[in-house]
Amino acid sequence: MTNLKTPIDRRSFMKVSALAGGGMMLSFSWLAGCSPKEQEALGLPDEWYELNSYIKIGNNGRINLMSPNPEFGSNVKTSMPMILAEELDVDWENVMVEQADFFPERFDRQFTGGSMGILLGWKPLRTAGATARQMLVNAAAQTWNVPANEITTSEGVLTHTASGKKAGYGEVASLAATLEVPEEVELKEISDFKIVGTSRKNVEAKNIVTGKPMFSIDHFEDGMLVAMVAHPPAFGLKVKSVDAESVKNMPGIRDVFVFETLKDDYERNGFDTTSFTELVAIVGETTWQVMNARKQLKVEWEGTTDKKVVVAGWGGKQEVTIPGGTESTAGHKSRMEEMAQKPAQVLRKDGDPETAFKNAAKVIERTYYAPYLAHNCMEPVNCFASVKGDKAELYGPIQAPELIMQTLSACLGMPKENIHLRLSRMGGGFGQRAYGHHMVEAAMISQKIQAPVKMVYSREDDMSYGIYRPTYTATYRAGLDENNNLIAFHVKGGGIPEHPVAANRFPAGAVDNYLAEGWFINSNITIGAFRAPRSNFIGGAEQSFLDEVAELAGKDPIEFRLELFDRAKNNPVGENNDYDPDRYAGVLKLVRDKAKWNESDNSNRGVAAYFCHNTYVAEILELEMKNNTPVIPKVIAAVDCGIVINPDAAANMGEGAIVDGIGNALFGEMTFEDGVPQKQNFNTYRMIRQTEAPKSIEVHFVENDKDPTGLGEPLFPPVFAALANAMYKVTGKRFYNQPFGKELQSAGTRM
């Protein structure tokens, strides 16, 4: 076993004895990256004590774990308690989980995103389980007057073999709660795991498929009103005047008013939106009444002017200029082309790339482009808010509750401790729910009318309000010597309003002469995190380009990449390479073997590999054209995410990311004309259909004992390139501009 010191003191590890019914409660304020689950086996105990961040053991042996992190489908409410139950050594069926409210005094990092949940929760959860188990052992040792090291545990039962004594955890929980927290605990050996590494069903599955009211859009309270907002029809416009009286007398309408969320002098964080901060609220008794009133509401809009705001992001404070006026996709493209020709910020430089390119026997240069993308979560934006006097209660979908609390406090004019934020299950997230503008809007509307409200967006609101994946472009150059060795590599990427270049990722470290540059253009179109931020474009562009470089070198695309990984392993260039070439090569070899690449005709298959969010992925996609329509018979993926907690759930997540990536690569696109989003519902914003999804997806995992990493995002970026590379094999045409479906259609393909 591994000995681990418990990073716990009396204040962070709170032990509370239960009352007459006995039981033990262990509260971990350092247990922040964790998300658990619920399942019925044992009945509820006679008594246990509830707080917001804890392990609880009932007097009947039932285990309860609060889930600090919001859940939006990544299944952490199943995988997290599996980790706890493993180290606690209990029967999996006797573990249940509750969703915690936002409670920063007891939790850190109540954030779901970046594929970080398992990564951050792994050691804390294991330590929590092991610590509780040791305290139970110590309690049994004291009760039986035997040495603690002679007591074993299994499925919630303590056993002293020599004396033949046994006890369930619940029988000694009350005594255990009075003992000192051990300074050091032993974690299980990975080889002894019984729960982690086995497949368990999603504990919320029954509630989801039977339509239980798990989402805030289902929430109802007596006296609750319904609110909607009217926002400018175009980015770059603002409210000039409102004829509120034109709709105030309509059935059920209670109030119509203009309100402002973020003041210009407010210091924003990176998750505060920059557009549509002045809105018109329509409040009424029913959603239908409010929707009809909003259609009749007369609002006059006017253009905005440039303004500067201070944003305190991850890199510190900076002043950001938000341009006035309206913008169009056509104008963006021309501006991006101009910027791509100008000097840019050097992000990394190894060797002498300029001279290497001059001396290269072959040089290839290609430019890639991707449009804005809308998140299109199945559950439109919504939030319940009740603000009365100096207290506020909110309930809604949010990935990053801690990042909206400062904004709520400032906008409501009340201290954070007076704001109670309940976390609902989210009907999708993909990064959009990290932005809490909807919570601010709902709270300010409730405060104004002094009544509880549920604010809802229509699908058109959700799609036209933002927050979008930025539009990106990148130009790649590669130079080969006379022996077809890669001797120079240059990537210059930009976007609106950020660049996508990750300067220290592959092939950095594998090429003697390497240059990475980045540039960006400011915009008033609101952008934000989108599944695998920046990687969702640059991963596909990079891997598409490397496929073309391999072809120019006359080499197999997998072997070409493996040669580069050998170089990065045995003679790396630079010291800041952010990947492990062995693990990177490992997924390529695994997918090669699973797909029988070296034994097959690969004339209709594309390959790609990418590392992001601490996880390595390689994918091979098979493509056919049937009746002039692209069909994807199979995708095979290999993944190195360390220890896999729940194999079936992990494979499911990978399958979803692959389907999502294919859909966005073929169809995803948001365009603007004079600031107006041109696609505002699913009749114009094309999504992948069931018949267009791969007929078969295989997800294979590298088996190792490395600490687990994330899975929500890493399988998404490489499928863009695997698809593009397969399309080249079948059509003879390289695809540089997303969505690829447009170019297929122009060639007469049915999409």
Q: With 60 as the cut, is the pLDDT of residue 650 above it?
A: yes
Cα-to-chain-centroid distance, residue 556: 34
Task: Choose the weakest-confidence range: 28-32, 626-630, 670-674, 721-725.
Answer: 28-32
Q: What is the mean pLDDT of residues 109-120?
A: 80
**Interval 473-488 mean pLDDT:** 98
Given a cut of 80, whether residue 386 has pLDDT beyond it is yes
With beta carbons less than 8 A apart as the criterion, state whether 208 and 214 touch: yes
pLDDT of residue 127: 86
* pLDDT value of position 2: 67
Higher pLDDT, 253 or 75: 253
pLDDT per residue over 171-181, tens digit each? Answer: 988 888 888 88
What is the pTM assigned to this prediction? Answer: 0.92
Note the pLDDT of residue 236: 96
pLDDT over threshold 80, residue 24: no
User: Is pLDDT larger for residue 430 or for residue 491?
Assistant: 491
Choose among 183, 185, 187, 156: nearest CA to 172: 156
Amino acid in position 407: T
* pLDDT exceeds cutoff 70 at 399: yes
Helix or strand or coil: residue 365? strand
- In degrees to the nearest 10, what's the CA dihedral of 126, 129, 132, 137? -100
Which tens digits make up the pLDDT trace of 158-170? Answer: 999 999 999 999 8
Q: Which residues, 6+ apart, have CB-to-CB distance to 52 below 8 Å?
A: 66, 100, 101, 103, 106, 107
Counting beta carbons within 10 angstroms of the beta carbon of residue 334, is it exposed (0 to 12), middle (13 to 18) or buried (19 or more)?
exposed
Once rounded to an integer, what is the mean pLDDT over residues 300-316? Answer: 89
| pLDDT reported for residue 33 | 33
**How many angstroms separate the CA atoms of 105 and 53, rounded?**
9
Mean pLDDT of 369-389: 95
Mean pLDDT calculated for residue range 261-278: 88
Strand 362-370 to strand 345-350: parallel, antiparallel, or no bridges (unpaired)? unpaired
Residues 607/725, Cβ–Cβ less than 8 Å: yes
3-class DSSP state of 215 = strand
Cα–Cα dist 75/465, whole Å: 28
Q: What is the mean pLDDT of residues 274-285?
A: 93
Answer yes or no: is pLDDT of 567 > 70: yes
Given this model, what pLDDT does residue 108 score?
63
DSSP state letter for 391: E
| pLDDT for the residue numbered 559 | 98
pLDDT value at residue 14: 38
Q: Identify the structural domains of the chain with CATH numbers, from first to last.
A: 2-195 (3.30.365.10), 217-307+381-456 (3.30.365.10), 471-746 (3.30.365.10)
Query: Would you list the DSSP string of 658-716?
Result: HHHHHHHHHH--B-EETTEES--STTTS----GGGS-SEEEEEE----SPP---TTTTH
Separation CA 138–CA 151 (nearest Å): 9
pLDDT beyond 80 at 20: no
Dihedral angle of Cα 33, 35, 41, 45, to the nearest 10 degrees: 70
| For residue 575, pLDDT beyond 90 | no
N- to C-terminal Cα distance for the chain?
56
